[in-house]
C-alpha cells in the first residue's frame, strides 16, 4: 500500500483514514495476497488455455464481433484500466442500452447467456490479475460514471485492487432481476443497488484477512454451482 500522503487527494479524507489504518496493519498479508494472485492466475491460465480456445470458437460462431469485450474500469487508487471479458452481448451493445445488464436483456447472445450463468465470461480477467489491475477477491470494478457517484466513504474501496469476486457479488448475483422492471436502470442502480453492495465491500475492507478472502472464493464456487 502507498503511504497516506501519497494517496490521491480525493482519498485523503477523514472517513477513509480508519479503513487505511486497518489495512496498514495487514501489510504482510497483503503481500502474500498479491503473491497468491500471481501464482494462481499463472497456473489457471496455463490449465484453462484449451477452454479459452473452445469459448472463443463458440462466440465467433454464435454472433458477429470480437471474442473479447474491453471496457474502462476503475481500480486501486482511482486508476483506470481495461477490463477483459469474453463478449456475451451483441456487438456495440453499450450503444443500445444501459451499462448495467438486466435479467432477460435482449442484447445478451445465446452463448453469452451460458457464459454468464457460470461466470465463464470472467475468465479473461486472470490476465488483469496477472498484470496487477485486479485481484481474485475485492470490490468489483465499476465504470467511471458510477465511481463518480461514490460517497467519500465508498472511495475507501479503492485502497485495494478491484476483484473478480466479492461477498457483494455473491449476495447481489441476481441484481439483473432487481433492475428488470426499473424505469431508469442507472438511477436505481446508483441509488439502491450500489449502496447495498458497498456496505458489504466496506465491511470486508474493515475486517480484511486472508482467511476471509479464501472463504469468499469458496463461497463463490458454491454459488456458481448452485
- What letter does residue 90 receive in the DSSP assignment? -
Output the pLDDT for position 92. Answer: 75
Helix axes 194-206, 17-24, angle to 10 degrees: 40
Length of the chain equals 226
Question: CB-based contacts of 37: which residues, under 8 Å, 6+ apart?
Answer: 129, 130, 135, 136
Tell me what pLDDT residue 173 has: 75
Strand pairing of 68-74 and 162-165? unpaired
Considering only CA atoms, which of 169, 171, 155, 149 is closest in space to residue 205? 155
Asked whether 63 and 91 are in contact (CB, 8 A), the reply is: yes
Indicate the pLDDT class of residue 109, thresholds 50, 70 and 90.
very high
- What average pLDDT score do residues 163-188 get? 83
Return d(Cα 186, Cα 56) in angstroms, integer.
30
Average pLDDT, stretch 187-214? 94
pLDDT at position 175 is: 73
State pTM to two decimals: 0.89
Residue ranges covered by each domain of the chain = 4-225
Banded model confidence at residue 97, pLDDT cuts 50, 70, 90: low
Q: If 0-12 CB within 10 Å is exposed, 13-18 middle and 19+ buried, where does residue 184 land?
A: exposed
Give pLDDT, residue 144: 95
Cα separation, 35 vs 28, in Å, equals 11
Q: What is the pLDDT of residues 58-83, one digit of tens each?
A: 999 999 999 999 999 999 999 999 99
103 pLDDT higher than 90: no
Residues 6+ apart with CB under 8 A from 62: 109, 110, 111, 112
Give residue 98's pLDDT: 66
- pLDDT at 181 exceeding the cut of 80: no
Query: Which range (17-21, 115-119, 122-126, 195-199) has the least confidence?
Result: 115-119
182-200, pLDDT tens digit by residue? 778 888 899 999 999 999 9
- What is the pLDDT at residue 180? 73
Is the Cβ–Cβ distance between 213 and 164 less than 8 Å? no
Task: Please name the residue ranges forming H helices in the chain.
Answer: 17-24, 27-62, 110-117, 125-131, 144-147, 167-171, 175-179, 185-188, 194-206, 210-225
Average pLDDT over residues 117-134: 96
Q: Which of 76-85, 178-187, 216-225 has the least mean pLDDT?
A: 178-187
pLDDT of residue 182: 76
pLDDT at site 102 = 62
Amino acid at each position: 500500500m502507498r503511504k497516506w500522503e501519497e494517496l490521491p487527494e480525493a482519498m485523503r479524507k477523514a472517513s477513509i483514514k480508519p479503513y487505511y489504518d486497518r489495512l496498514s496493519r495487514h501489510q504482510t498479508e497483503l503481500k502474500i495476497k498479491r503473491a497468491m494472485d500471481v501464482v494462481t492466475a499463472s497456473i489457471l491460465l496455463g490449465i484453462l488455455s484449451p477452454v479459452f480456445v473452445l469459448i472463443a470458437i463458440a462466440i465467433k460462431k454464435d454472433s458477429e464481433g470480437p471474442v473479447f469485450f474491453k471496457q474502462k474500469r476503475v481500480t486501486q487508487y482511482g486508476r483506470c484500466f481495461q477490463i477483459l471479458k469474453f463478449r456475451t452481448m451483441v456487438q456495440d451493445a453499450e450503444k443500445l442500452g444501459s451499462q448495467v445488464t438486466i435479467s432477460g436483456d435482449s442484447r445478451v447472445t445465446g452463448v453469452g447467456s451460458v457464459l454468464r450463468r457460470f461466470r465463464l465470461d470472467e475468465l479473461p480477467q486472470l490476465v488483469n490479475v496477472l498484470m496487477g489491475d485486479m485481484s481474485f477477491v475485492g470490490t468489483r470494478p465499476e465504470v467511471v460514471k458510477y465511481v463518480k457517484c461514490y460517497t467519500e466513504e465508498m472511495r475507501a474501496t479503492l485502497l485495494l485492487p478491484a476483484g473478480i469476486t466479492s461477498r457483494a457479488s455473491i449476495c447481489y448475483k441476481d441484481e439483473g432481476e432487481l433492475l428488470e422492471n426499473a424505469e431508469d436502470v442507472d438511477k436505481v442502480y446508483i441509488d439502491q443497488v450500489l449502496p447495498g453492495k458497498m456496505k458489504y465491500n466496506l465491511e470486508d475492507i474493515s475486517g480484511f484477512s486472508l482467511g476471509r478472502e479464501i472463504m469468499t472464493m469458496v463461497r463463490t464456487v458454491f454459488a456458481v454451482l448452485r
